[in-house]
Amino acid sequence: MKLILYTLACVLAFAANSLLCRMALEGQHIDAISFTWIRLTAGAMVLSFAHQVKPPWLEPKTYLPGLALWAYALLFSLAYRHIGAAAGALVLFGSVQLTLFVLAQTSQERIRGWEVVGMVLAAAGLAYWLWPQWGTPSVEGFSMMVLAGLAWGIYTWLGRHNKQPPTAFTAWNFALAAVLGFITLPLMPYVADVSGCGVGRGFRRGDFGFGLCPLVSSVA
């Protein structure tokens, strides 16, 4: 029951993330790059209250989850400039599920029957959305969301196998991803389109869905 509740909370937070991100970007309240940096920074700020961040400088492998988190956040925001919230969430969830299934297979982990069912449902959802009756999806949006799902799947996989306390693991990765997001700002050609409404939604992502999701994933 505890695992079910954790998983439910994670999925609901993920869905809230998609809705808030799409609302901010579709209404052109903020550009995708600035939004990514703000929500990463907001998540790092919230998590810093729960745990003091202590950088593991001597372990290069500990930088991989933070890099995956940053890649997910950036691709996620860029994808929602071209794809709707419902379709984006469906593509993202399916991509994450397929990524985790492949990683489990390559690592020779035991695959349970219900995990196979989840993978099949994820693949079926992607196929159904791409069916001609739904129209032609944005290739750019679809591709970036698939890559975002791949990055999040890798981050989840690394979190599942990390030996640090979940809160410490998540806080460090958000801090690193926020730094990467800040470095990215001057490298992008469209980062000056920011409004109070967009910033507000970026912070709401940070202290609710975006901060909760990776923490719950690590605990589960």
CA 122/CA 182 separation, integer angstroms: 33
Query: What radius of gyration, in Å, describes the C-alpha atoms of the chain?
Result: 17
According to the model, what pLDDT value does residue 155 have? 94
CA 154/CA 148 separation, integer angstroms: 10
Q: Which residues contact 5 (CB under 8 A, 6 or more apart)?
A: none
Predicted confidence (pLDDT) at residue 111 exceeds the cutoff of 60: yes
**Helices 32-50 and 166-184, packing angle to 10 deg:** 150
Would you state the structure tokens that stand for residue 87, as one six-digit string? 């379709």
Q: Which residues contact 181 (CB under 8 A, 6 or more apart)?
A: 36, 37, 40, 41, 70, 73, 74
Helix (H, G, I), strand (E, B) or coil at 30: strand
Predicted confidence (pLDDT) at residue 17 exceeds the cutoff of 70: yes
According to the model, what pLDDT value does residue 75 have? 92
191 CB neighbour count, 10 Å cutoff: 17
Q: Which residues contact 25 (CB under 8 A, 6 or more apart)?
A: 32, 35, 77, 80, 81
Would you state the structure tokens that stand for residue 123, as one six-digit string? 């693949």
Q: 215 and 166 in contact (C-beta within 8 Å)?
A: yes
CA 75/CA 58 separation, integer angstroms: 29
CA 17/CA 11 separation, integer angstroms: 10
Predicted confidence (pLDDT) at residue 147 exceeds the cutoff of 90: yes
Would you state the structure tokens that stand for residue 2, as one six-digit string? 């505890």
According to the model, what pLDDT value does residue 110 have? 76
Q: Which of 33, 117, 37, 39 is nearest to 79 (CA)?
A: 33
Scanning 63-165, the segments in alpha helix (DSSP H) are 63-79, 85-106, 113-129, 139-160
Q: How many Cα atoms are found within 13 Å in the side-chain-facing hemisphere of 96?
A: 20
- How does residue 1 score in pLDDT terms, banded at 50, 70 and 90? confident
**Digit-coded pLDDT (tens) for 2-13:** 888 888 888 888
According to the model, what pLDDT value does residue 129 have? 66
219 vs 58 pLDDT, higher one: 58
> What pTM was estimated for this model as a whole?
0.76
